[in-house]
Structure 1
Amino acid sequence: MSSFLPPLKTLKVFEAAVRTRSLTLAAHELFITHSAVSQQIKVLEEHFGQPLFLRQSRGVEPTEAALAFYAEVKASLDRIALAAEQLTLTGKSRVVRLIAAPSVAMRWLIPRLSQFQIDNPRIEVRVTTTMSEYFEDVKDPFDVILWRSPLERSGYECIRFLDDVSAPLASPHFLELHPIKVPRDLVEVSLIHLSSRAAAWSQWLNKAGVAVRRKMPGTVYEHFFLSLQAAATDLGVAMGTLALVDDDLAHGRLKQLFPEVVLHGEGFHMMYRSAADSNPALKTFINWLTQMGQASAYDPERTHPADFPGEH
C-alpha cells in the first residue's frame, strides 16, 4: 500500500492549487515561490504518470481525475488537522466550572451563554447555583464564581465585571391600577422586599427624598427571581437589579420607575483561578465574561460609591 503513497509534502500544495485554481495564489497562501509550487505539482504528476492540471491564461483547471483525488486529499487533511487539535488539547481542561446565584445564572448568564457555546463549541461550561449568601458555605470545586461583592481566596484572582444598579420595577398593568406620579406615592402601594437586601427600599426612598419608617411594610421574598415574578404578575413594586432585567425592560414586561434615582452596589465580581493563562478554555471564558459585563454596563463613564456594600 505504501508504494502508492505520493510524497506527502506535495499533497498540501496540490490541495491549495485545486482549491484556488491558481499556482500563484497557492504559492502566496503557503509562503513559497511559484516555481516551488510548479515543482511539487510536477513531482505529483510524475508519480501518477498523468497530468493533473490544464494550464490556462487565468490559472489552472484540475482534470476530472484530479478533482476526485482532491476530494479524498482534502478530507484526509481535515481529519489530520482535527486529530492534531485534539492531541494538542490532550491533558488540557476544556471544562469550565462556574458557580453563581440562581438569579444571576437565570437572568444574566444563561441568556448569553448560548452564543458563547456557538462560538466555542469545544469548551463546556458547567453552571452550578448556590442559594447561600455566604461564600464560606460554597463547597463545590469551581474555576469561576460570580458574587455580589469582592472575594479573596489563595490561588484565585477577583475582578469587578458587571454593574450592580437597582431601581423600582413594576408591571405596566400594576401601574395602570396604581398611578405612581412621585416617589412618595410608593409608600401607599404594595412593596416587594428581598430578604438579602432588607434595607433597599428604605435606602432608595431616602435617596429620593422621602422620609420613611425604619421598617417598610410589604411582602418579603427570599430570592430575587421570586420577587421579580411577583412584580411581573402585578403583586407590587420590586427593587430590582437592572442588569438582570434588561430583557424584561426591553420587551415592556416591566417598567423602571424614576430612573433618575438608583442604588449602586459594589458590583458583581468574578473570582477565577490564577492559572487561567495556562488554561486556554478558562482564559477564553473569562475574557468573554468581561466583554459581556462591559456590554451590560449601566454607565461606563462614571464610577459610583456603593449604597449597600458587601451583599450577595
Structure 2
Amino acid sequence: MPSSLPPLKALKVFEAAVRTRSLTLAAHELFITHSAVSQQIKSLEEYFEQPLFLRQSRGVEPTEAALSFYAEVKASLDRIALAAEQLALAGKSRVVRLIAAPSVAMRWLIPRLSQFQIDNPRIEVRVTTTMSEYFEDVKDPFDVIIWRSPLERSGYECMRFLDDVSVPLASPHFLETHPIRVPRDFVEVPLIHLSSRSAAWSQWLSKAGVAVRRKMPGTVYEHSFLSLQAAATDQGVGMGTLALVDDDLAAGRLVRLFPEIVLHGEGYHMLCRSGAETNPALKTFITWLKQMGQASSFDPQRTWPADFPGEY
C-alpha cells in the first residue's frame, strides 16, 4: 500500500454507498454522478486489493470486511463533523431558545440560570414564557420547552427531569391567626386554588382522610406564581409545588404543612429538539437541566427551619 491512509474523498463515498446499499442513491446524496461514485469505490478496492461490494440487480451489498470497515469509517466521519462544528462555533455566541410557563420560569429556572451563564458565558439562553395551558398553542422556534406533563411533537424528544410534588403552604403570620393543628382545620380557613388544578385541595384532603364537599370555597388564581404570592402575603393556604418554593421555605416566607401527605403530579418534562448530541450548546444546557432537576428532586425526609406541621 502506498500510504496507511486511504483516499479521504473515497471514504465519504464509501460510507454513503454502504449506508444506502445503492451507488445511485449515494450519488444523489453527495450531488455527484453515478460514474464518479463507481470510480471512487474502484479506487478503494484497488487500494485494499480486494472487492468491497457485491453487485446485485437491486443495488450493491457490502462484503463482510467492508461492513467492519464501514463501522469505523462512519464513527470517524461523525467525530470529524462534530469537531468541525465546534471549531466553527468557537468564539461565537451559541443560542438555546426555551419556552416555559411563567411560574416555573420565574420560580425555578431563572434563579438557577445565572450560575449556568457564569459557567457557560458563550451560550445564550433566551427564555420565553407562554400563558397558554395548551401545548398545541406553542409554536416554533424553540429548542427546549418545559411543561407540566409529557409531550409529543415530531422532531423532538421528551424526558422527565423535575418532580412535581404539591403540598399545603402558608405564611407564618397567617398561621398565627389561623391555627391549623389537624388536616380537618383546612375546611375552616381561607384556601387558595389554582384554576388548572381545581381539584387539588379535594384530592389532598381526601388523602388526609377528610371528607369534603365536591367544590372547596376560596380564591382562585390562574397561575402558580400568583397563588404562591397570595399565600406568602397572608391571604390563605395554597397548594404549591415544592420545587417552586425552595427559597420561600428556606427564608421562612412560607411554611410547609403536614409534610407526610403530598400529591404527586406527572412531573415536569422537557421537550428537546432532536439531534442534541451534535449541538454542543444544546447538549450542555440539557445536561445542566437534568442536574438541576436532580438537585431539586423530592426528598420526603427533607425539612426547612420553619417546617413545624401541626404546631400552629
1:135-174 residue CA offsets vs partner (Å, 9 max, x unmatched): 0011241000000000011111000000000000000000
After superposition, give the CA deviation of every residue in 1:35-58 in whole Å (9 maximum; x if it has no partner): xxxxxxxxxxxxxxxxxxxxxxxx
Q: Give 1:284 shift.
A: 0.1
Structure of higher CA gyration radius: 1
Post-superposition CA distance 1:71-90 (Å, at most 9, x none): xxxxxxxxxxxxx9995316
- CA 117–300 in structure 1, closer or farther in 2 if over 3 Å, else same: farther
Corresponding residue for 1:262?
262
Structure 2 gaps of 5+ residues are: 1-83, 302-312
What corresponds to 1:107 in structure 2? 107
Q: 1:231 and 2:231 equivalent?
A: yes
Q: Which amino acid aligns with 2:221?
A: Y
Give the TM-score of the pair, scaled to structure 1: 0.67
Letter matched to residue 168 of structure 2: P
1:156-235 alignment runs, 5 A limit: 156-235=156-235
TM-score, normalized by length of structure 2? 0.67
User: Which amino acid in structure 2 is aligned with residue 220 of structure 1?
Assistant: V
Structure 1 position 94, deviation (Å): 1.1
Moved over 6 A (4+): 90-93
The one-letter code matched in structure 2 to 1:97 is: R
Tell me what 1:60 maps to: none
Match of 1:279 in 2: 279
Q: Distance in 2 between matches of 1:156 and 1:280?
A: 17
Alignment of 1:1-312 (within 5 A): 88-89=88-89, 94-299=94-299
Which AA in structure 1 matches 2:216? M
SS for the counterpart of 1:292 is helix
CA contact (8 A) 1:193 1:221 kept: yes
Tell me the CA shift for residue 91 of structure 1. Answer: 11
Whether the aligned pair in 2 keeps the contact of 1:93 and 1:279 (CA below 8 Å) is no
Residues 1:93 and 1:271: Cα distance change in structure 2 (over 3 Å) = farther
CA shift, 1:197, in A, is 0.3
Equivalence for 1:48: none
- RMSD (CA atoms): 2.0
Q: Which residue of 1 aligns with 2:6?
A: none
Judge conservation of contact 1:96–1:143 (CA < 8 Å) in 2. yes
Q: What amino acid is the match of 1:285?
A: F
Q: Give secondary structure in 1 for the equivalent of 2:141.
A: coil
Gaps of 5+ in 1: 1-83, 302-312
Percent identity reads 87
Residue 240 of structure 1 aligns to a residue in which SS?
strand
Distance 2:270 2:207 in 1: 29
Alignment check: 8 A CA contact 1:92 1:279 kept: no
